[in-house]
Amino acid sequence: MAKSNCNDCTCRLAKEVCQLKAVVNAQSKTLTKLVRQIRDGCRKDEEPKESTLCGLNPCLKCLNPDILYHLGLDTETTDFPKVFGDVRFVCMGGTPGRMENFAYYVMQEIGLKINAATQLRDIAEAGKRFSLFKVGPVLCASHGMGCPSISILLHELIKMMHHAKCQDPVFIRLGTCGGIGVDPGTVVISSEAVDGRLNAGHEIIVQGNSILHSSQLDEGLAEDIKMCHDPCKDKYETIIGRTLCAHDFYEGQSRLDGAFCEYTPEMKKAYLEQLQSQDIKNIEMESLAFAALTSRANIKGAVVCVAILNRLNGDQIKTPHEILAKWEKRPMELVTRYIRKVLYFNASDSESDQLEEDECGEGPQDKEGSPQGGAGDTQKAPEEAAE
């Protein structure tokens, strides 16, 4: 027993030393670059002319201004490249409160600081529909429930990335789901989203015609996020699997406890078992629109959800709130580790340029025209990265 504790401890210490080494290396590269820049004279890198997004509406350039109605933002009164040009991660989840907490958590974990008396501002407050917080290169948005809601948010966030000329932003949805044959508390990263007929496509009706968009998700990104699971530390499983996206919580998910139910418990059981036999690991309500819209724009996307029950064992969620709250943090922790890894440990020479320290020591909230750190703002490397 004592021996295994000691091994655990050594394993953790070795890991922390590796992480610290990586931070020191990243900082030393940044320092070298800074010194080189001072020596060569401070020449600002050329700003990108366009975003890396593809396949967008050609008429966007004619919209002057473009009004992102549900976010309460427009291209006339907000300088999108200045405010949002540095965004590299767009994270979204169901509720405003959860995403605000996530924003503060990301801020702490990536080593950004604002004055203790200052709060993050909800940039989308004027739209009165969604919440949006910016923490340096990370945007955190609430998306509401279901595909219609997340579709509206995604149209407007994708346009935002386009107008801001963002380079390769990664989109991640973090949420909850019902597991299919998986233990409650397990984190499921979606490989693809399927509809209630198990078709891997998001159908939208456009001018009376049915249009199907692929709902595959980025395999590499799913793997990278899964790698952030730490079996030494995390007392739960993280798996990759197919996700059923329903358009309703009750009949659409074959529950027996909705206001209406026109099938028998046997029929429900047969449907859920069919899902299990088709390798479906979870059910939620936004992945189809999320996968379809991100992949249409050439954006890498991932859906990371914690299962709050095993649907093979029931329909109602009886787990106490304190435990649910703990489980809901799991996707957040994994995704934050992934973000930190990309920002600080994978940083190539040119990427680490973006992580230079803010010499003025201004908090991300304090910059003029730049809620929570706009493009060109810089972040501090994590001070306690090994924590």
Question: Where do contacts with ligand URA occur on this chain (CB under 6 A)?
Answer: 176-178, 249, 253, 283-285, 308
Q: Which does 283 bind (CB under 5 to 8 A by kind): ligand URA, ligand R2B, none?
A: ligand URA
**Residue 253, binding choice from ligand URA, ligand R2B, none, Cβ under 5 to 8 Å by partner class:** ligand URA
How far apart are CB 338 and ligand URA at their closest, in Å?
22
Q: Which amino acid is at 215?
A: S
CA distance 8 to 10: 6
Q: Is the Cβ of residue 12 or residue 326 nearer to ligand R2B in the bound state?
A: 326
41: phi > 0 → left, psi -120 to 50 → alpha, else beta; which? left
Are 165 and 48 contacting, i.e. CB atoms less than 8 angstroms apart? yes
Residues 4-63 that bind ligand R2B (CB under 6 A): none
Least Å distance, CB 318 to ligand URA, is 12
Token pair, residue 291, equals 């996968």
Report what 178 binds from ligand URA, ligand R2B, none; CB cut-off 5-8 Å by kind.
ligand URA
* Candidates 80-88, 101-109, 226-234, 279-287; binding stretch for ligand R2B (CB under 6 A): 279-287
Min dist. Cβ of residue 230 to ligand URA (A):
25
285 lies in the site for ligand R2B, by CB under 6 A: yes
Name which of 169 and 175 has its Cβ closer to ligand R2B.
Answer: 175
Neighbours of 285 (CB within 10 A): 24
Q: How far is the CB of 224 from ligand URA (least distance, A)?
A: 24
CB of 184 to ligand URA, least distance (A): 10
Near ligand R2B in 167-196, by CB under 6 A: 175-177
Measured CA to CA, the distance from residue 182 to residue 174 in angstroms comes to 18
Report the alpha-carbon distance of residue 106 to residue 88 in Å, rounded.
13
Q: Which does 94 bind (CB under 5 to 8 A by kind): ligand URA, ligand R2B, none?
A: ligand R2B
> Is residue 237 packed enough to be buried (19+ CB in 10 Å), middle (13-18) or exposed (0-12)?
middle
Kindly tell me which residue out of 86, 156, 286, 328 binds ligand R2B, with binding defined by CB under 6 A.
Answer: 286
CB under 5 to 8 A by kind: which of ligand URA, ligand R2B, none does 371 bind?
none
Which of 158, 166, 160 is CA-nearest to residue 137?
Answer: 166
Half-sphere exposure of 121 (CA within 13 A, CB side): 15
Examine residue 328 and tell whether it contacts ligand R2B (CB under 6 A): no
Closer Cβ to ligand URA, 332 or 375, answer by number: 332
Choose between 144 and 371: whose C-beta lies nearer to ligand R2B: 144
Size of the site for ligand R2B (CB under 6 A): 9
CA dist 183 and 276 (Å) reads 14
As measured in angstroms, the least distance from the Cβ of 206 to ligand URA is: 26
Residue 313: CB partners within 8 Å, gap ≥ 6?
none
DSSP H helical ranges for the chain: 2-40, 80-84, 96-109, 147-163, 219-226, 265-277, 287-296, 321-340, 349-353
Subset of residues 80 to 139 that bind ligand R2B, contact rule: CB under 6 A = 94
CB-side exposure of 300: number of CA atoms within 13 Å?
14
Instruction: Name the β-bridge partners of 179.
Output: 282, 310
Each residue 136-165 as x (binds ligand R2B by CB under 6 A) or -, in order, gives ---------x--------------------
Distance CA 15, CA 17 (A): 5
**At its nearest, how many Å lie between ligand R2B and the CB of residue 173?**
9
Partner that binds at residue 145, options ligand R2B, ligand URA, none, CB closer than 5 to 8 Å by kind: ligand R2B
Comparing CB distances to ligand R2B, the nearer of 94 and 201 is 94
Q: Which two tokens stand for residue 11?
A: 């394993």
* 192 or 284: CB nearest ligand URA: 284
Q: Compute the 3-state secondary structure of the chain and give helix, strand, coil in percent, each to the nearest 5.
A: 40, 20, 40
Residues that bind ligand R2B (CB under 6 A): 94, 145, 175-177, 249, 284-286
